[in-house]
Amino acid sequence: MLYLDDLHIGQRFKSGTHTIDAVEIKAFARQFDPQPFHLDDGAAKDTIFSGLAASGWHTAAITMRLLVDSGLPLAGGIVGAGGEIAWPKPTRPGDTLQVESEVMDITPSRSRPDRGTVTVRSVTRNQKNEVVQELKARLIVPRRV
Amino acid sequence: MLYLDDLHIGQRFKSGTHTIDAVEIKAFARQFDPQPFHLDDGAAKDTIFSGLAASGWHTAAITMRLLVDSGLPLAGGIVGAGGEIAWPKPTRPGDTLQVESEVMDITPSRSRPDRGTVTVRSVTRNQKNEVVQELKARLIVPRRV
Chain A: nearest CA to B131, how far in angstroms?
Answer: 13
What is the pLDDT confidence band of residue A145, given thresholds at 50, 70 and 90?
Answer: confident
Residue A116 dihedral angles phi and psi, to the nearest 5°: -160, 180
Contact A35 B78 (CB under 8 A): yes
Give me the interface pTM, i.e. the ipTM.
0.96
pTM summary value? 0.97
Q: Which residues pair with A134 in a beta bridge?
A: A86, A123
Which of A36, A64, A82 lies at the smallest CB-CB distance from B33? A64
**Contact (Cβ atoms closer than 8 angstroms) between residue B21 and residue B6:** no
Q: Which residues of A touch B (CB under 8 A)?
A: 28, 31-37, 47-49, 55-57, 60-62, 64-65, 68-69, 76-87, 134, 140, 142
Query: pLDDT digit string (tens) for B18-47?
Result: 999 999 999 999 999 999 999 999 999 999
Is residue A101 exposed (0-12), middle (13-18) or buried (19+ Cβ within 10 Å)?
Answer: buried
Query: pLDDT digit string (tens) for A66-75?
Result: 999 998 999 9
- The size of the A-B interface in CB pairs under 8 A is 92
Q: CB neighbours of A139 closer than 8 A, spacing ≥ 6?
A: A74, A78, A79, A80, A81, A117, A118, A119, A120
